[in-house]
Amino acid sequence: MNEFFAIFLGSAPALLWLIYFYRRDRFEPEPIRLVLKTFAWGAFGIVPAAAIEQLFSVSELAHSDPRAVSVAALTLATFAIIGPVEEGIKFLFVRLTVYRNPEFDEPVDGLIYASSAALGFAAAENITYVVGSGAGVLVGRALISTLGHVLVSAPWGLALGLRRAATGFGTRHVASELLASALLHGGFDYLIFLRRPLSTVIFLAVLFPAMIVFARGAFRRAVPLSQYAASARCQGCLNPLRPGALFCPTCGHAVELGAWRCPTCEADCRPGAAFCGKCGSAQPKQAAASSL
């Protein structure tokens, strides 16, 4: 297969998922250049990961006959090597490249950059599988494996975002969530590599849905904690406004005094309303103060 075609096919599912998760950051989306930079670092992460996994002879598990591999060896490979190595590398690249950037200032940013690194890693994996096994392998990988990389990284992504936003999360919290991601990743791969009817049922009916529920909950928890969620926002371009501003510095739109934007559903709320007329959320205190 043509290498450029393989790169396109392998990257396309990851980039589509990246757009989906990027849009979850409603209040102050991260600069695209930083998101793509993290995606590229995540893709590069497959190099050290593959080297380490090759060193321990675990890279052949995906193609080996599960009947020829003992349960103990499979457990050791997935929980002690693959999970910790791949999650550790993704975490390390986010922590060393973008974590200290001033743009990383909301709890949800941890999830955005973790998703970006995870999808970059998944894209690189997809490319290797397409080259080795053909385009048909993407049928399952586009939905399960590509999305799975994001889901298993959600715990440490949320923890890193909460720590960066000074919400009381410390190094110990981040370390415990990173361990949870490593174990989750190990369990994910263990059930896939086992390839038995019961393991498939557990994976599809229990583990994968539970991971989706957790990731959705992580975004729902992180987004309202944004420092920009409680700010008065321009009714024209939706950018945050400084207290007392009469015109938006971005688009010049006249500020409707007393108007505010719901931090939950983003509906435009009329001046003087204490609650959102669409979803019932209370007006944020900071927005109320800045609209007087």
> Mind listing the pLDDT tens digit for each residue in 178-226?
999 999 999 999 998 888 888 889 998 999 999 999 999 999 989 888 8
Choose between 239 and 26: higher pLDDT. Answer: 26
Token reading at 216: 């959705």
Tell me the backbone φ, ψ of residue 240, rounded to 5 degrees: -60, 145
Residues 14-55 have pLDDT tens digits of 999 999 999 988 878 899 999 999 999 999 999 999 999 888
- Residue 289: pLDDT over 60: no
Q: Is the dihedral of CA 109, 182, 212, 148 positive or negative?
A: positive
Q: Give the pLDDT confidence score for residue 232 in this predicted structure.
A: 60
Give the C-alpha distances (Å, rounded to integers) separating 127 from 12, 103, 132, 135, 257: 10, 30, 9, 9, 53
Return the sign of the alpha-carbon dihedral for residues 135, 137, 142, 147. Answer: negative
Whether residue 68 has pLDDT greater than 90: no
Residue type, 172: R
In the beta sheet, which residues pair with residue 260? 269
DSSP-derived secondary structure letter, 253: P
Mean pLDDT throughout 266-275? Answer: 70
Structure confidence at residue 151 (pLDDT): 96
- Cα distances from 80 to residues 54, 138, 237, in angstroms, run 14, 27, 48
pLDDT for residue 291: 41
Higher pLDDT residue, 112 or 59? 112
Q: What is the pTM of this model?
A: 0.77
pLDDT of residue 286: 45
Give the pLDDT confidence score for residue 269 in this predicted structure: 73
Report which of 213, 21, 9, 5 is spatially closest to residue 118, judged by C-alpha positions.
21
How many CB atoms are closer than 10 A to CB 288?
A: 15
Q: Mean pLDDT of all residues in the chain? A: 84
139-164 pLDDT, tens digit per residue, is: 778 889 899 999 999 999 999 999 98
- Which pLDDT belongs to residue 290? 41
pLDDT at 287 (0 to 100): 43
Residue 292 scores a pLDDT above 50: no
Rg (CA), the chain: 22
Instruction: Determine the Cα–Cα distance for residues 11 and 121; give it in Å rounded to an integer.
Output: 10
